[in-house]
A and B are shown apart, each in its own frame.
Chain A
């Protein structure tokens, strides 16, 4: 028989590719955009903030590893939470994941614009108009591309990530010779060690890219083993690279210099010590190019990511069904891409970059709390579930994950919480509206335990 059960050739990502998906998303833009802002908040101790964030995110990474090895479903955190909890909880998870990607997109777009202007400036050309215009343009172009064609393969992502790593490698290699330990004194800013927590909250968004590995699980070879490995490996590599880059940046440009440079901090640090290369020009140009390149590829990844979450939710009727449809001509989740883009453009225009970073971090922290809860709940509800990868020292890591993520969330400023609550309230409205519409044709369904008083639903 020729039609035996061979699985279609979808599994195309090896361990290296899968790891690169995660590294690519994490080293994408956070390091370029957020280092300056973190130093502004925590001084030289920003390096400690990055290290601790690496530790905190590892707890959640372990949870992702266990869930991804046991539940073969694309969709990442949303899919696992859908398995563990009732529909409303899954809705909140999907709604916040969607927004995290969108807000991260806004962050990357703004970071791209700032670095792009900086990059062109190196060649002596002053670009007209405010950077926001370039941020908007980049979103529009990438959305247009993603609306009419399906995404590029994972192989391209690997190359892009290797280029980013190479550029940062050059930065680190030259920087380590120039960095001085003296710049780390005083280590803590005037606010003391407590200022570490807001800096951790702000930069946490940079540590959530492994979620992207979990959204493409079905394309990974030998997934039971490779996905947990790829998740943990990508976290490890990312943390090491971050620490080296932040060490070099602080050790060369110093705290006041970095804090003043904002989202172009890394490029400005490079200006101080990088030699001149043939063709490219100054070393700073190379780093600025790396930043432009990274932010634009990260922006592309989150445009795809956000539209896929909206698409998945549309298919499961958790958002309007139109979002779950493919466009007849382009074969892309057209409406989902456009809806994500609309919110992203709004975020670029109205929300300042620091708040954008905070919002993205807050939602990603809250999402991770729910994922850690999902691990515990699934362990209790499905003790006989086959778990190819089990969290070591369970239940300590998920509990620590929940506590640390909540703690970091609490130190994010009240305005961000207000914006977040606003988005959740909007989500609640959408959810109730959709539920109401869905329930109308089946009024016989007994919903609430009110034995005697059964009021027939009104017809309109």
Chain B
């Protein structure tokens, strides 16, 4: 069952404001702390979060976001040291989960101090690889240890090309999530069109097998 979270997002830049929007779309309550007045107004115009205008690394500002009454604090400014300071300050003020954005590969010791790290450049690298290697297979998401969400383009001579989903047998541990134009969830009547791109969830031990069926 869904539970509504109250989340403080420090930093209303591109990452912070997008995070706020996604959270609000899922029904969570968001407070954004942003020091640049113009930026704050832009975020305010979106009407997805309350905005505190000020520098979140100043305790008097951070306190206004009311960490004591919140479930999670995400420090997402573009400065790693600032984010770390915000997280530790928030933990002093309240018993709160903290998530920080790192600008370099996350330090091994962070888990001792914060509950989660976000490394946008790491995610960026994955997108870069997807764009660079146009092999017809794109990683969308690493879900957990053994599961990956990938987008696969059906090769013209692949074994499953042109077949309906109920005519073929995909290996256990794989699932067609959406059909070619990404508008429908895959079902028995989904046709695997050659040249179409499909979102597929795969467990790593059958990834090879799935690629073989879909790429040939």
* Residues of chain A whose beta carbon lies under 8 Å from any beta carbon of chain B: 5, 7-8, 70-73, 83, 217-218, 223-224, 315-317, 321, 324-325, 381-386, 388
Q: Judge whether B54 is part of the interface by a CB distance below 8 angstroms.
A: yes
* Contact between A218 and B47, CB atoms less than 8 A apart: yes
From B2, B29, B44, B48, contact of A386 by CB (8 A): B44
From A72, A325, A388, contact of B1 by CB (8 A): A325
CA distance A73 to B44 in the complex (A): 13
Given contacts A73-B29, A224-B44, A321-B1, contact A386 B21 (CB under 8 A): no
* Contact between B51 and A224, CB atoms less than 8 A apart: no
A residues near B44, Cβ cutoff 8 Å: 224, 386, 388
B residues near A388, Cβ cutoff 8 Å: 44
Within B35-72, the residues touching A (CB, 8 Å) are: 40-41, 44-54, 61, 64-66
A residues near B41, Cβ cutoff 8 Å: 386
Q: Judge whether B158 is part of the interface by a CB distance below 8 angstroms.
A: no
Q: State the Cβ distance, B108 to closest chain A Cβ, in Å.
A: 30
* Contact between B21 and A7, CB atoms less than 8 A apart: yes
* Contact between B50 and A386, CB atoms less than 8 A apart: yes
- Give the top 9 A-B pairs by smallest Cβ distance, nearest first: A386-B51, A72-B47, A382-B64, A223-B47, A384-B54, A386-B44, A384-B53, A384-B52, A71-B50
CA distance A177 to B64 in the complex (A): 58
Q: Judge whether B24 is part of the interface by a CB distance below 8 angstroms.
A: yes
CA distance A97 to B64 in the complex (A): 27
CA distance A224 to B46 in the complex (A): 9
- Can you name 19 A-B pairs with beta carbons within 8 Å? A7-B21, A7-B25, A8-B25, A70-B50, A73-B29, A217-B47, A223-B47, A315-B3, A315-B4, A324-B1, A382-B52, A383-B64, A384-B52, A384-B64, A385-B50, A385-B51, A385-B64, A386-B40, A386-B52
Given contacts A8-B25, A385-B50, contact A315 B2 (CB under 8 A): yes
Judged by DSSP, the binding face of A is loop
CA distance A325 to B2 in the complex (A): 9
Q: Judge whether B18 is part of the interface by a CB distance below 8 angstroms.
A: yes
* Contact between B64 and A381, CB atoms less than 8 A apart: yes
A residues near B40, Cβ cutoff 8 Å: 386
Q: State the Cβ distance, A375 to closest chain B Cβ, in Å.
A: 14
B residues near A224, Cβ cutoff 8 Å: 44-45, 47
Q: State the Cβ distance, A384 to closest chain B Cβ, in Å.
A: 5
CA distance A281 to B3 in the complex (A): 55
Closest to A225 in B: B45
CA distance A70 to B83 in the complex (A): 25
Closest to B32 in A: A386
* Contact between A72 and B52, CB atoms less than 8 A apart: no
Closest to B55 in A: A384
B residues near A223, Cβ cutoff 8 Å: 47
CA distance A134 to B80 in the complex (A): 66
* Contact between B66 and A381, CB atoms less than 8 A apart: yes
A residues near B3, Cβ cutoff 8 Å: 315, 317
Closest to A71 in B: B50
Q: State the Cβ distance, B128 to closest chain A Cβ, in Å.
A: 14
From A5, A218, A316, A381, contact of B18 by CB (8 A): A5
* Contact between A384 and B48, CB atoms less than 8 A apart: no
A residues near B29, Cβ cutoff 8 Å: 73
CA distance A5 to B48 in the complex (A): 13
CA distance A148 to B24 in the complex (A): 27
Q: State the Cβ distance, A54 to closest chain B Cβ, in Å.
A: 29
Q: State the Cβ distance, A198 to closest chain B Cβ, in Å.
A: 39
CA distance A70 to B52 in the complex (A): 10
CA distance A8 to B22 in the complex (A): 11
CA distance A84 to B161 in the complex (A): 59
Q: State the Cβ distance, A5 to closest chain B Cβ, in Å.
A: 6
A residues near B24, Cβ cutoff 8 Å: 72
Q: Which of A73, A218, A321 has the most CB of B within 10 A?
A: A73
Q: State the Cβ distance, B65 to closest chain A Cβ, in Å.
A: 8
CA distance A386 to B44 in the complex (A): 7
CA distance A72 to B2 in the complex (A): 20
CA distance A386 to B52 in the complex (A): 6
Within B137-195, the residues touching A (CB, 8 Å) are: none
A residues near B48, Cβ cutoff 8 Å: 7, 72
CA distance A217 to B29 in the complex (A): 14
From A8, A83, A385, contact of B52 by CB (8 A): A385
Q: State the Cβ distance, B94 to closest chain A Cβ, in Å.
A: 14
Q: State the Cβ distance, A324 to closest chain B Cβ, in Å.
A: 8
From B4, B21, B46, B47, contact of A316 by CB (8 A): B4
B residues near A217, Cβ cutoff 8 Å: 47
From A7, A70, A73, A384, contact of B46 by CB (8 A): A7
CA distance A44 to B40 in the complex (A): 52
Closest to B68 in A: A86
Known: A384-B52, A386-B41. 5 other contacts (CB 8 A): A224-B47, A324-B1, A382-B64, A382-B66, A384-B61
